[in-house]
Amino acid sequence: MKNIKTLFAGAAGLLASTVAFGGPNENASLSATISAGTLEIVASSLSGTYSPVGGAVSITGALQSDALAFEINGVEINDLDGSGTGWTLTATPAANLVNGSNNLPLGTTGGFNNPSDSPNTTVDSVNQITYGSGSGVVGYTVDYDVAYDVPALVDTGTYTGTVAFAITSL
């Protein structure tokens, strides 16, 4: 009986030392938080003033359809919001280029073209595209084309306008 008591006492001591000093395998718990980045149109990709392709236009006495064509190349998108859903980009060209009370009406909108990731891009309309990849993207680029008409007897001068771009997550 004394041997059994000694055996139990030895086992209890071994168990206590295992609990006190740990076993051969231990785990460390890890935890990390990933914060969302931004879904953005890179402002520098739209900086500056765009001039019409082909330069200035002269008055001819006849309507010149699409005489002032603008190419806005390399509109850059970064999708770092971590949503995994993709995004929609829209463009809204000014209805007129203006010079005081004078205006040049919107002509043909060529719209979005030449996306840098065409397999994952859908052209919804000339003024809207959808990027459907859920993996996010950095440095995605697309071009946008728009033109304005020059009326027959328009006043001379410098005409200005804008194209507003907006991006939303799907």
**pLDDT per position as a tens digit, 102-154:** 999 999 999 999 999 999 999 999 999 999 987 889 999 999 999 999 999 99
- pLDDT tops 90 at residue 166: yes
pLDDT at residue 21 in the model = 62
Percent of the chain with pLDDT over 70: 87
Of 109, 104, 108, the residue nearest 157 (C-alpha):
104
Specify the DSSP class assigned to residue 26.
-
Is residue 14 situated within a structural domain? no
Beta bridge partners of 167: 89
Is residue 163 situated within a structural domain? yes
Is residue 75 situated within a structural domain? yes
| Angstrom distance (rounded) from CA 105 to CA 131 | 30
Q: Which two tokens mark 24?
A: 């051969």
Is residue 125 situated within a structural domain? yes
Task: Work out how many domains the chain is built from and give that number.
Answer: 1
Is residue 1 situated within a structural domain? no
What average pLDDT does this structure show over 20-33? Answer: 85
Range of the domain at 53: 39-169
pLDDT at residue 19 in the model = 53
| Angstrom distance (rounded) from CA 40 to CA 145 | 20
Q: Compute the radius of gyration of the chain from its Cα atoms.
A: 33
Is residue 5 situated within a structural domain? no
Is residue 156 situated within a structural domain? yes
